[in-house]
Amino acid sequence: MKVALIQMQVASSPAENLQTARTHLKDAAAGGADIAVLPEMFCCPYETPNFPRFAQKEGDEIWQALSEMAKENSLYLVAGSVPEDDDGKTYNTSYVFDPEGKCIAKHRKVHLFDIDVKGGQRFMESETLTAGDSLTTFDTPWGKMGLCICYDIRFPEWMRLMALEGAKAVFIPAAFNMTTGPAHWELSFRARALDNQIYLFGCAPARDMDASYHSWGHSIATNPWGEVMAQLDETEGILFAHADFQREDAIRDQLPLLRHRRVDLYELREIKK
Ligand SMILES: NC(=O)CCC(=O)C(=O)O
């Protein structure tokens, strides 16, 4: 399975951002990608007032454009995330489209990014966003995949639940920042990949020092051995990476961490369905 992570610049207009995504998706398809991924909030600058301002309902213009892009390029599209308007609430939502343009999954960010680091990053998603409450997986010809958004990666139980549901890789549209990015981005991807013996693909916006939120960038692919397979810097570009699920199965057989869990002594509680 060949994955393309599209680390794009985010401009102030959704129309311009859709055009940027369209251009990069053509390149991803030309490069042989089976699955392409866009960044968190790729269609508007990452600022809390923008989320309700640019929010659209599922099925509206942005959703339609993304569906068409998946179909035009004949690939699975993990369509970053967009602000979703539903019943007066705004969610940070990632849609997944199949190569026919059909929406096959939707994840609403479950853990809202509310942090206030002294001398560093402050951001309060809860000022304008509502949290989702569901675990998200979807089926592909390569097997079941998981989906979560940025800050969700920091919660090991959430990733473990996706692995236990049978996800063979997890896609993570994201936008870490200049305070936590250097310290925790790569470490979080390597740790979650290693703990769950799973491929992880994180896709971030390119850095824009004129924006109010400075993305760390560094879109990344990690493997079930806990290694970084490839990583970008902060500039715009596409990262291609392969997932080899035979290797994943071999690692899980030879070092059977998931089977060695002492579920007689501890367990994750069932999620609410
Ligand atoms: N957009 C986000 O969820 C940012 C998460 C982040 O930067 C972190 O440190 O976690």
Grade residue 16 by pLDDT with cuts at 50, 70 and 90.
very high
User: What are the backbone dihedrals phi and psi of residue 228, each rounded to the nearest 5 degrees, phi first?
Assistant: -80, 120
pLDDT of the residue at 268? 87
Task: Return the pLDDT at 173.
Answer: 99
Catalytic residue among 44, 103, 109, 234: 109
Ligand 1 atom 9 nearest Cα: 180
CA–centroid distance, 80 to ligand 1, in Å, is: 14
Do residues 40 and 205 lie in contact, with contact meaning Cβ atoms separated by under 8 Å?
yes
Other C-beta atoms within 10 Å of 113: how many? 23
Taken in order of first residue, the domains within the chain and their CATH numbers are 2-254 (3.60.110.10)
Ligand 1 atom 1 nearest Cα: 175
Query: In terms of C-beta density within 10 A (0-12 exposed, 13-18 middle, 19 or more buried), how is residue 12 classed?
Result: exposed
Q: What is the pLDDT of residue 269?
A: 74
Q: What pLDDT does 27 receive?
A: 98
- For residue 106, the CA-to-ligand 1 centroid distance in Å is 20
Mean pLDDT of 88-95: 98
pLDDT tens per residue, range 97-122: 999 999 999 999 999 999 999 999 99
State ipTM.
Answer: 0.99
CA 258, CA 88: separation in Å to the nearest integer? 41
Whether the CB of 113 sits within 6 Å of ligand 1:
yes
Asked if 68 is an active-site residue, the reply is no
Q: What is the pLDDT of residues 180-190, one digit of tens each?
A: 999 999 999 99
Q: Give the position of tokens 């971030």.
A: 204
Q: How far is the CA of 192 from the centre of ligand 1 (A)?
A: 15
The catalytic position among 40, 84, 125, 186 is 40
Query: Which residue's alpha carbon is at the smallest distance from atom 10 of ligand 1?
Result: 151
Q: Whose CA is nearest to atom 3 of ligand 1?
A: 151
| pLDDT, tens digit (0-9, with 9 covering 90-100), for 37-51 | 999 999 999 999 999
Assess whether 272 carries a catalytic annotation.
no
| Residue 168 is a catalytic residue | no
Averaged over 90-101, what is the pLDDT?
98
pTM greater than 0.95: yes
Question: Exposed, middle or buried by CB within 10 Å (0-12, 13-18, 19+), for 187?
Answer: exposed
Average pLDDT over residues 45-63: 98
Question: Where do runs of H (alpha helix) occur along 147-224?
Answer: 156-164, 186-196
Ligand 1 neighbourhood includes 151 CB (under 6 angstroms): yes
